[in-house]
Amino acid sequence: MSRFRVSVHIVPRKGLLDPQGKAVADALHALGFADVEDTRIGRHIVLDVNADSAAAAELSVKAMCDKLLANPVTEDYQIASTVTA
Amino acid sequence: MKFGIVTFPGSNCDVDAIHAVTDQLGQTAVSLWHRDHDTQGCDVLILPGGFSYGDALRAGAIARFSPIMQEVQAHAERGAPVIGICNGFQILCESHLLPGALMRNAGLKFICDWVHLKVDGTAPLYLAGYSPDQVLRIPIAHGEGRFAADDATLDALEHSGQVVFRYCDAEGNVSDAANPNGAARGIAGITNAAGNVLGMMPHPERAVESLLGSTDGLPLFESLLARVGA
């Protein structure tokens, strides 16, 4: 059993209004960053997980996302990185 | 009739709900703790407003796993009345007892204000005391009240009469201008397909006495009394 640090990105689903992301995109445009097409603001969760392998740790984190960490109606999640903790 | 009002850590409208059903409606109410597994024979369960678990992660996401939610689910599946108000609505959506989700208000601000609602839908358990298209004046107080669901879900809700309240203006016109939080299709409240589980962002329990500005929430509770029995 090893300890893995798994990071997950959770963002509002594309197509749903993300007022926070829109406000930031508007501000970036006002600052001259005209190349910004879309901004979405979500959350980043870092979990230290005990598991037999990195794959097992990721599988466990996916189950956590499906059950609690992300709302399947409004959010998408993606495992950003998995490293030995 | 016996009401059970569930208190989660962070609930803050539980006492308002108890006041509404006891002092204003003359019914019995018991306070249920979120760790309880016994609903004490209550006919109706109310999940009140507030900030359960400080809205950690998402509003209602943690409360959904409180022990009493197993009993709330069983109560709902028996066809018995369950009402989720504000944070209670968020909890019911997170629990999948109601479809959709409540997202951050489109304007990003917490809104505490009076709004107008248009009665819609076909849930006699809660709407029998209102006339169709009646315009109500009821307060809201939320930061995450923007109802969202995919188009197929919204169509199905409308088609089956499960959309029970929509934000409107004083004349009853449903419009973007009268929509305080950007909710899809102006939806302020819905029921499940069976019509026994109600979720709404506005606070009917705060509109039960003229001293506080409105009695438009009373018929909702009176409809229940007439159907379920006093």
Comparing alpha-carbon positions, the chain B residue that sits nearest to A19 is B106
Q: What's the pLDDT at A13?
A: 93
Q: What's the pLDDT at B4?
A: 98
* Residue B229 binned pLDDT confidence (cut-offs 50, 70, 90): confident
Q: What's the pLDDT at B150?
A: 95
Closest-CA distance of chain B to residue A58, Å: 20
At residue B166, what is the residue type? Answer: R
Comparing alpha-carbon positions, the chain B residue that sits nearest to A44 is B57
For residue A65, list chain B residues with Cβ-Cβ distance below 8 A: none
* Cβ–Cβ contact B185 with A under 8 A: no
* Cβ–Cβ contact A12 with B under 8 A: yes
For residue B61, list chain A residues with Cβ-Cβ distance below 8 A: 68, 71
Residue A7, pLDDT above cutoff 70: yes
For residue A20, list chain B residues with Cβ-Cβ distance below 8 A: 104, 108
Structure confidence by residue, pLDDT tens digits, B56-107:
999 999 999 999 999 999 999 999 999 999 999 999 999 999 999 999 999 9
CA A53 to chain centre: 21
The full set of domains in chain B, from first to last, is 2-228 (3.40.50.880)
**Mean of the per-residue pLDDT values of chain A:** 96
Q: CA dihedral in degrees (B27, B28, B34, B39; nearest 10)?
A: -110
* Residue B230 binned pLDDT confidence (cut-offs 50, 70, 90): low
Kindly determine whether residue A17 and residue B106, on different chains, have CB atoms separated by under 8 Å: yes
Which residue out of B104, B110, B154 would a mutagenesis test of the A interface target, given it has the greatest number of A Cβ atoms within 10 Å? B104
pLDDT (average), residues B159-172: 98
CATH of domain A2-16+42-84: 3.30.1280.10
ipTM of this model? Answer: 0.90
CB-nearest to A71 from B101, B105, B106 is: B101
The helix/strand/coil state of B229 is: coil
Distance between CA B90 and CA B98 in Å, rounded? 9
Kindly determine whether residue B148 and residue A23, on different chains, have CB atoms separated by under 8 Å: no
* Cβ–Cβ contact B146 with A under 8 A: yes
The helix/strand/coil state of B166 is: strand
Share of chain B above pLDDT 90, in %: 97
For residue A74, list chain B residues with Cβ-Cβ distance below 8 A: 101, 103, 148
Q: CA torsion sign, B38 to B41 to B46 to B50?
A: negative
| CB within 8 Å of B111: residues ≥ 6 apart | B105, B140, B141, B142, B143, B145, B180, B181
Name residue B45's beta-bridge partners: B4, B82
C-beta separation of B142 from B188 below 8 A: no
Catalytic residues of B, by residue number, are 86, 203, 205
Kindly determine whether residue A73 and residue B65, on different chains, have CB atoms separated by under 8 Å: no
Which residue out of B55, B57, B69, B94 would a mutagenesis test of the A interface target, given it has the greatest number of A Cβ atoms within 10 Å? B57
pLDDT (average), residues B189-211: 97
Distances (CA, A) of B32 to A8, B56, B67: 36, 22, 11
At residue B189, what is the residue type? Answer: G
CB-nearest to A71 from B58, B99, B108 is: B58
pTM for this model (two decimals)? 0.96
